[in-house]
Structure 1
Amino acid sequence: MDFHTWLIYLVAALGLSLSPGPNGLLALTHGALHGQRLTRFTIAGGALGFVVLIALSMFGIGALLQASLGWLAVLKWVGGAYLVWLGIQVWRSPPLGDTLAASAGGPVRAGVLFRQGFLSAVTNPKGILFFAAFLPQFIDPARALWPQFVVMAGTFALVEVATECFIAGAAHRIRPWLQRVGKTFNRACGGVFMAIGLALPLRG
Structure 2
Amino acid sequence: MQFSLWLALVGAGALISFTPGAGAINTMSNALNSGFRRSIWGILGQQAALVVHITIVALGVGLLVANSPVAFNIIRYAGAAYLVYLGVRQFLAKPSLDAESAQALRDEPRWSMFRRGLWVNLLNPKAIVFFLAFLPQFIRLDRPVLPQYLIAAATVIVIDVLVMWLFFAGTARSFQRFTRDARGQRVLNRIFGVLFVGVGILLATIH
Alpha-carbon distance in structure 2 between the residues aligned to 1:131 and 1:117: 18
Corresponding residue for 2:132? 132
Q: Mean alpha-carbon deviation: is it higher for 55-64 or for 140-149?
A: 55-64
Tell me whether 1:110 sits opposite 2:83 in the alignment: no
Q: Provide closer, same or farther for how the CA distance between residues 38 and 134 of structure 1 changes in structure 2, counting only shifts above 3 A.
A: same
Q: Is the 8 A contact 1:57 1:128 kept in 2?
A: yes
Q: Mean alpha-carbon deviation: is it higher for 105-114 or for 45-54?
A: 105-114
Letter of the aligned partner of 2:50 in structure 1?
F
List aligned pairs for 1:56-135, cutoff 5 A. Answer: 56-60=56-60, 103=93, 106=105, 107-135=107-135
Corresponding residue for 1:199? none
User: Per-residue deviation at 1:63?
Assistant: 9.5
Alpha-carbon distance in structure 2 between the residues aligned to 1:11 and 1:126: 21
Q: Could you state the TM-score of these two structures normalised by the residue count of structure 1?
A: 0.62
Corresponding residue for 2:33? 33
Give RMSD over aligned pairs: 2.6
User: Per-residue deviation at 1:62?
Assistant: 10
Q: Is the 8 A contact 2:36 2:173 kept in 1?
A: no
Helix, strand or coil: the match of 1:14?
Answer: helix
Q: Is the 8 A contact 1:35 1:169 kept in 2?
A: no
User: Per-residue deviation at 1:174?
Assistant: 7.2
Q: Is the 8 A contact 1:61 1:136 kept in 2?
A: no
Structure 1: unaligned runs, 5 residues or longer = 65-100, 176-204
Q: Provide closer, same or farther for how the CA distance between residues 161 and 24 of structure 1 changes in structure 2, counting only shifts above 3 A.
A: same
Alpha-carbon distance in structure 2 between the residues aligned to 1:109 and 1:118: 14
Alpha-carbon distance in structure 1 between the residues aligned to 2:175 and 2:8: 27
Structure 2: unaligned runs, 5 residues or longer = 65-89, 97-104, 177-207
Q: Is the 8 A contact 2:53 2:131 kept in 1?
A: yes
Q: Is the 8 A contact 1:53 1:128 kept in 2?
A: yes
Alpha-carbon distance in structure 2 between the residues aligned to 1:53 and 1:152: 12
Q: Percent identity?
A: 31
Q: Is the 8 A contact 1:61 1:132 kept in 2?
A: no
Aligned length: 140
Alpha-carbon distance in structure 1 between the residues aligned to 2:112 and 2:57: 27
Corresponding residue for 1:163? 163
Letter of the aligned partner of 2:150 in structure 1?
V
Larger Rg: 2
Helix, strand or coil: the match of 1:170?
Answer: helix
Tell me whether 1:172 sits opposite 2:173 in the alignment: yes
Q: Is the 8 A contact 2:32 2:175 kept in 1?
A: no
